[in-house]
């Protein structure tokens, strides 16, 4: 048997914005950047409906993953990172009434920061990881956002992880704290279940 493709149960304790709980995930090798998910599977992983996904494509809020460096007409496939972007956009739109185009900018910023690879390796190995959060607020009529780290021991936001001046402006306004690592874990679990029969492999280059 190819041990690289074996499915193993991993027990993780997660403490985050939504409280502390224990979850079971399956450790599966798959590329988080590859177009592996159908649109139906993408919607399941991102916790959105098909109408919303279609609207986002039509409005170019969130497009499917490129295949061979370009969008293929009539083919909609999504990566795990795209599902994470969709989860973040949906969270901001549904629960915090932020316009989809603005929410997409926040999601793109998160995915581009390099945390997804760190969390993926940690969730697959069952090892420790650094939680992360995103502060979001309307400041002087513009959407502002700042990513901060969390305390690995407690899982709570660590406002001292960035410069004080980068956080002070948020403390003067009502702001949202998005539990990024917790939301990614939810997407990762769902994609692991969806792709449980996949024979694709995950490499550091994919992360």
Provide the residue ranges of all domains of the chain, joining segments of one domain with +: 3-194
- Distance (Å, whole) CA 44 – CA 49: 8
- Tell me the per-residue pLDDT of 149-200, one tens digit each, with 9 for 90 and over: 999 999 999 999 999 999 999 999 999 999 999 999 999 999 999 998 654 4
Element (H, E) at 111: helix 100-111
Please give the Cα distance from 49 to 126 (Å, whole number): 31
- CA–CA separation, 173 vs 27, rounded Å? 40
Give me the residue label for tokens 């550091």. 204
E strands of the chain, at which residues? 8-16, 19-27, 37-38, 77-78, 132-139, 142-149, 176-179
Q: State pLDDT tens for residues 94-134.
A: 999 999 999 999 999 999 998 999 999 999 889 999 999 99
Count how many Cα atoms sit within 13 Å of the Cα of residue 73 in the half-sphere of its side chain: 0
Q: Which residues on adjacent β-strands are paired with residue 16? A: 19
Which tokens in the block code for residue 75?
Answer: 């083919």
Q: Whole-prediction pTM value?
A: 0.80
Sequence-ordered list of residues with C-beta below 8 angstroms from that of 53, at least 6 positions apart, any chain: 39, 42, 43, 46, 62, 86
Q: How confident is the model at residue 69 (pLDDT cuts 50, 70, 90)?
A: confident
């Amino acid at each position: 048997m190819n041990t690289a493709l074996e499915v193993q149960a991993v027990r993780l304790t997660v403490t985050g914005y939504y409280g502390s709980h224990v979850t079971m995930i399956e450790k599966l090798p798959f590329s988080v950047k590859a177009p592996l998910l159908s649109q139906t599977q993408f919607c399941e992983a991102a916790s959105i409906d098909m109408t919303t996904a279609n609207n986002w494509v039509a409005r170019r809020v969130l497009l499917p993953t490129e295949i061979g460096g370009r969008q293929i007409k009539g083919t909609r496939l999504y990566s795990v990172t795209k599902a994470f972007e969709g989860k973040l956009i949906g969270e901001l739109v549904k629960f915090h009434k932020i316009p989809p185009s603005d929410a997409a900018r926040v999601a793109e910023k998160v995915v581009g920061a390099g945390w997804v690879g760190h969390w993926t390796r940690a969730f697959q190995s069952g090892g420790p990881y650094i939680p992360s959060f995103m502060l979001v607020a309307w400041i002087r009529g513009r959407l502002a956002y700042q990513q901060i780290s969390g305390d690995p021991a407690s899982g709570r936001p660590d406002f001292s992880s960035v410069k004080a001046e980068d956080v002070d402006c948020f403390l003067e306004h009502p702001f949202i704290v998005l539990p990024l690592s917790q939301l990614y874990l939810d997407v990762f679990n769902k994609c692991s279940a969806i792709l449980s029969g996949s024979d694709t492999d995950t490499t550091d280059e994919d992360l």
